[in-house]
Chains A and B, each alone.
Chain A
């Protein structure tokens, strides 16, 4: 009584009690508003019309209703036949109500109230185009306890509208079964709801967040004591989910299962003991919570994560399209622990039996194992090991790396050594940074005794031996560009080749661009010409290749000059074959004249004073020069490739200074293979 007395506010009451007929009585109650625990009625009207035979017709209407926090119910009318002889009973009840969320609804209900002890019961069916079809039962005792059962199905659109942002479309059907009980009629103590979603879908206006053909089931159990707590289990069985850039399909191996205990209190909520099982991918524990207006904090502890699907499905989408990491395939098994709130706060991982493979064949790393921890606020540590790998066609050996991690940096703690081409590459002071969102990397180190024989074999070149050693004051990688600062020196053919300012843009990309300056010192021509089958030449060679640019590993421009350098104790000799090949390289069609041919066949070798050739490549055109260099060649209509010495003497003089680069290459290859080149336009 106290509650009703306190909460019932009758602002206006009109009572009309007329006796139109002796046996028919109409009682009508009107109020401006009625407010009770958890509900309010605006302009309610109750009309009782006695029908005789112990029955009355009862009509109840209200302009607006509100239950709990849910308003938007309008133009409600209910009517039923009330039997008051014996326990009160309301039969053949009908009703109409307009819901802002669910549209017009029609109801059918019947109920009974035990007149003496206050027990009551009600059956309800509710139908609406947007609300769906629902059947419910409710029973209460005189003590106020009650229990209810609800079953029905509805378009998903109606129920998801309040969960999804405005203007999102949704589709599908929800089938719901619920049971609840309470200690008093307006208090819910325990409830269990099972929801099955069929052909569920939704889509954002731009189409970049969507789901389709979804089938899932959700069971939520809720209990109320001082706060609300319970459990929830979700099974995702079928369909596809898009949350750009991530896309996932329900696995064929079985449903994805997400379960958690939950707690909702005043100003906070929490998910505890969460468990995610994703067949084919792995499983993870999780928890999440939010206290007041603090940012959402959540954590994930994933176990037995299969790296192949995990990398493809969850890592690759966030990498830049077309970049090298975005096209790698990963393998192995990992354990990953992540803490968020806000943003990534810490990470801990262990990756074993790992591998990274580029489908284009540019990069392969096998036997990877890595473990470590990273924090957004303090230092972390990581270890990285691999067994072997290959970059382009070059195999490399094992790595054992130990690193210090900062929030946006990685630094090596000790020098590293990787076996390469029979020698090794030493790496020191490696430092990587991703502060600006782009990875940059710097280190220094050295190449120790790399053997050129396996290099030439792996690259498919004619085999030759030699070693490559270099100090690398700085090796840097940023924005797909690998650059070196220092000189790479190779000991080859008894001399030395130095490479300076080596840089590769679009490294491991579609069209890598290599730039470098090269110097040659005292290369012995005899072993070189033996290897390349150019014909016998003895002597020493100096030279340079300045401003070398290779595009997709093919030269597009350079300024090169190779010239003989007299070496004490080294005879300067050239064979007839080499003379013929050299003359072809210089633009001639070989030794065609009868006298010249006879002369060359008569003497197998000739002494020379100077031997030299220059090539300047620009825009696919090679400008040739001889022993005098480019300046001399420009002043004259000819250039000398070979200046003979003594008797018999042979000079080679070229007249075609300009030639297509492709033509020059085909001449060189033909000379090496001992073929007669196809004559093209000079």
Chain B
């Protein structure tokens, strides 16, 4: 009888340890989702692409509507195997190697289940979607206005703020005729910028990301700005690139 009780206790302890272990695995997996919640690297890459495109459109004075598959930044090419390269590559979480031992595959599947259950958005967060109609339309609108803004940037009448928007830097730098349109143009451009940030956040299922996307773009506008453009430093002072 005692032996039975001991066996039951040992079994209970063993089950408890196993459950604790599983809980730990789940806990650790949950931590991973928090770390990659906002895909900063992907956001930066996207911001750089969009910013370059807007600067290019402003220089050309021409608006191009970039849809997925036609944008120069994201060409789709056939793979060596002849299969379409447009097929999305399965995530490493979702595609354990068939050659791996069963326990490794099992652990991967378990982690994947936990990962997915704790954060359904983590996979979406690994990359940023910028091809929704809303984003593309917002980009086209911005590029259209950027062409009008170009002389104001070049002359120094307008510069990029450290908040990812634009502001009047020196109205005196342009003629009176150009100056008349300046406040309205700045207001419209800021509306278009705000709309772009919101559309990117919405397209990725996270409207609350707008502030972080705007912050990322703020750095990109300044980093990629052509020489001679004015921008605001982190301290708020105006500086010429």
Let me know if B184 is at the binding interface, CB within 8 A. Answer: yes
Give the distance to chain A from B2, nearest Cβ to Cβ, in Å.
58
Q: Is the CB of B179 within 8 A of A242?
A: yes
Give the distance to chain A from B205, nearest Cβ to Cβ, in Å.
15
Of the listed stretches B31-39, B65-73, B100-108, B225-233, chain A binds B65-73
Q: Is the CB of B184 within 8 A of A245?
A: yes
Q: Which of B76, B143, B180 contacts A620 (CB 8 A)?
A: B76
Q: Is the CB of B67 within 8 A of A244?
A: no
For A656, list chain B residues within 8 Å (CB). Answer: 84
Contact with A along B137-164 (1 / 0, CB 8 A): 1011101110010000000000000000
Q: Which of A247, A322, A511 contacts B176 (CB 8 A)?
A: A247
Let me know if A506 is at the binding interface, CB within 8 A. Answer: yes
For A249, list chain B residues within 8 Å (CB). Answer: 177
Let me know if B193 is at the binding interface, CB within 8 A. Answer: no
Q: Is the CB of A321 within 8 A of B171?
A: no
Instruction: Kindly report which residue of chain B lies nearest to residue A206, judged by CB atoms.
Output: B171
Give the distance to chain B from A371, nearest Cβ to Cβ, in Å.
30
Q: Is the CB of B70 within 8 A of A620?
A: yes
Contact with A along B79-104 (1 / 0, CB 8 A): 00000111100000000000000000
Q: Which of A207, A241, A244, A551 contacts B136 (CB 8 A)?
A: A551
Which bracket fits the contact residues of A? 35 or more
Give the distance to chain A from B76, nearest Cβ to Cβ, in Å.
6
How distant is the Cα of A656 from the Cα of B78 in the complex, in angstroms?
13
> Which of B84, B133, B139, B140 has the most C-beta atoms of chain A within 10 angstroms of its own C-beta?
B133
Given known pairs A206-B171, A208-B179, A510-B141, the reply for A322 and B192 (CB within 8 Å) is yes
How distant is the Cα of A241 from the Cα of B180 in the complex, in angstroms?
10
Let me know if A661 is at the binding interface, CB within 8 A. Answer: yes
List A299-358 residues whose CB lies under 8 Å from chain B. 317, 320-322
Q: Which of B63, B140, B184 contacts A317 (CB 8 A)?
A: B184
Q: Which of A244, A511, A660 contacts B137 (CB 8 A)?
A: A511
How distant is the Cα of A659 from the Cα of B177 in the complex, in angstroms?
52
Q: Is the CB of A208 within 8 A of B183?
A: yes
Let me know if B182 is at the binding interface, CB within 8 A. Answer: yes
Q: Is the CB of B67 within 8 A of A554?
A: yes
Q: Is the CB of B84 within 8 A of A620?
A: no
Q: Is the CB of A620 within 8 A of B185?
A: no
For A511, list chain B residues within 8 Å (CB). Answer: 63, 65, 136-137, 139-141
Contact with B along A652-663 (1 / 0, CB 8 A): 000010111110
Q: Is the CB of A317 within 8 A of B141?
A: no
Q: Is the CB of A513 within 8 A of B182?
A: no
For B134, list chain A residues within 8 Å (CB). Answer: 513
Q: Is the CB of B144 within 8 A of A322?
A: yes
Let me know if A682 is at the binding interface, CB within 8 A. Answer: yes
Let me know if B172 is at the binding interface, CB within 8 A. Answer: yes
List A182-210 residues whose CB lies under 8 Å from chain B. 203, 206-208, 210
Give the distance to chain B from A230, nearest Cβ to Cβ, in Å.
32
For A620, list chain B residues within 8 Å (CB). Answer: 67-70, 76, 86, 131
Q: Is the CB of A322 within 8 A of B141?
A: yes
Q: Is the CB of B133 within 8 A of A556?
A: yes
Q: Is the CB of A658 within 8 A of B86?
A: yes
Give the distance to chain B from A480, nearest Cβ to Cβ, in Å.
10
Q: Is the CB of A552 within 8 A of B65?
A: yes
For A554, list chain B residues within 8 Å (CB). Answer: 65, 67
Q: Is the CB of B183 within 8 A of A245?
A: yes
For A485, list chain B residues within 8 Å (CB). Answer: none
Q: Which of A206, A212, A322 contacts B188 (CB 8 A)?
A: A322
Give the distance to chain B from A217, nearest Cβ to Cβ, in Å.
22
Q: Is the CB of B84 within 8 A of A321?
A: no
Q: Is the CB of B187 within 8 A of A551?
A: no
Give the distance to chain B from A558, nearest Cβ to Cβ, in Å.
11
Q: Is the CB of B68 within 8 A of A556?
A: yes
How distant is the Cα of A240 from the Cα of B141 in the complex, in angstroms?
32
Q: Is the CB of B187 within 8 A of A207?
A: no
Let me know if B77 is at the binding interface, CB within 8 A. Answer: yes
Give the distance to chain A from B136, nearest Cβ to Cβ, in Å.
5
Instruction: Kindly report which residue of chain A lies nearest to residue B142, judged by CB atoms.
Output: A510
How distant is the Cα of A629 from the Cα of B183 in the complex, in angstroms?
54
Let me know if A471 is at the binding interface, CB within 8 A. Answer: no
Let me know if B40 is at the binding interface, CB within 8 A. Answer: no
How distant is the Cα of A506 from the Cα of B136 in the complex, in angstroms?
12
For A549, list chain B residues within 8 Å (CB). Answer: 133
For A110, list chain B residues within 8 Å (CB). Answer: none
List A228-246 residues whose CB lies under 8 Å from chain B. 240-242, 244-246
Let me know if B50 is at the binding interface, CB within 8 A. Answer: no
Q: Is the CB of A551 within 8 A of B65?
A: yes
Instruction: Kindly report which residue of chain A lies nearest to residue B141, judged by CB atoms.
Output: A510
Given known pairs A245-B183, A621-B86, the reply for A320 and B141 (CB within 8 Å) is no
Let me know if B109 is at the binding interface, CB within 8 A. Answer: no
Let me know if A505 is at the binding interface, CB within 8 A. Answer: yes
Q: Is the CB of B179 within 8 A of A513?
A: no
Let me know if B234 is at the binding interface, CB within 8 A. Answer: no
Instruction: Kindly report which residue of chain B lies nearest to residue A506, judged by CB atoms.
Output: B137
Q: Is the CB of A510 within 8 A of B140?
A: yes
Q: Is the CB of A207 within 8 A of B69?
A: no
Let me know if B168 is at the binding interface, CB within 8 A. Answer: yes
Let me know if B1 is at the binding interface, CB within 8 A. Answer: no
Let me know if B5 is at the binding interface, CB within 8 A. Answer: no
Given known pairs A242-B179, A620-B68, the reply for A556 and B187 (CB within 8 Å) is no
Give the distance to chain B from A552, nearest Cβ to Cβ, in Å.
4
How distant is the Cα of A513 from the Cα of B141 in the complex, in angstroms?
12
Q: Is the CB of A509 within 8 A of B141?
A: yes
Contact with B along A243-273 (1 / 0, CB 8 A): 0111101000000000000000000000000
Let me know if B181 is at the binding interface, CB within 8 A. Answer: yes
Let me know if A227 is at the binding interface, CB within 8 A. Answer: no
Q: Is the CB of A321 within 8 A of B67?
A: no
Give the distance to chain A from B192, nearest Cβ to Cβ, in Å.
7
Give the distance to chain A from B69, nearest Cβ to Cβ, in Å.
2
Q: Is the CB of B86 within 8 A of A321?
A: no
Give the distance to chain B from A89, nearest Cβ to Cβ, in Å.
54
Q: Is the CB of A207 within 8 A of B172?
A: yes
> Which of A206, A245, A321 has the most C-beta atoms of chain B within 10 angstroms of its own C-beta?
A321
Q: Is the CB of A317 within 8 A of B180?
A: yes
For B144, list chain A residues within 8 Å (CB). Answer: 322, 510
Q: Is the CB of A682 within 8 A of B84?
A: yes
Q: Which of B68, B143, B148, B176 contacts A212 (CB 8 A)?
A: B176
How distant is the Cα of A266 from the Cα of B192 in the complex, in angstroms?
52
How distant is the Cα of A199 from the Cα of B13 in the complex, in angstroms?
97
Given known pairs A513-B133, A620-B131, the reply for A244 and B140 (CB within 8 Å) is no
Instruction: Kindly report which residue of chain B lies nearest to residue A318, judged by CB atoms.
Output: B184
Instruction: Kindly report which residue of chain B lies nearest to residue A211, judged by CB atoms.
Output: B176
Let me know if A681 is at the binding interface, CB within 8 A. Answer: yes
For B140, list chain A residues within 8 Å (CB). Answer: 510-511, 552
Let me know if A619 is at the binding interface, CB within 8 A. Answer: yes
Instruction: Kindly report which residue of chain A lies nearest to residue B185, judged by CB atoms.
Output: A321
Give the distance to chain B from A661, nearest Cβ to Cβ, in Å.
6
Q: Is the CB of B180 within 8 A of A245?
A: yes
Q: Is the CB of A242 within 8 A of B180?
A: yes
Give the distance to chain A from B42, nearest Cβ to Cβ, in Å.
16
Instruction: Kindly report which residue of chain A lies nearest to residue B173, judged by CB atoms.
Output: A207
Additional 19 contacts, C-beta under 8 A, given A244-B183, A246-B180, A511-B137? A203-B172, A208-B171, A240-B176, A244-B179, A244-B182, A321-B184, A322-B144, A322-B188, A511-B63, A551-B137, A552-B65, A554-B67, A556-B68, A556-B131, A619-B69, A620-B67, A620-B86, A658-B86, A660-B69
* Complex A-B: 30 CB contacts under 8 Å: A206-B168, A206-B171, A207-B171, A207-B172, A208-B171, A212-B176, A240-B177, A242-B179, A247-B177, A320-B184, A320-B187, A321-B145, A505-B137, A511-B65, A511-B137, A511-B140, A513-B137, A549-B133, A551-B136, A552-B65, A556-B68, A620-B67, A620-B86, A620-B131, A656-B84, A659-B84, A660-B84, A660-B86, A681-B78, A682-B78
B residues contacting A by CB (< 8 A) are 63, 65, 67-70, 76-78, 84-87, 131, 133-134, 136-137, 139-141, 143-145, 148, 168, 170-172, 176-177, 179-185, 187-188, 192
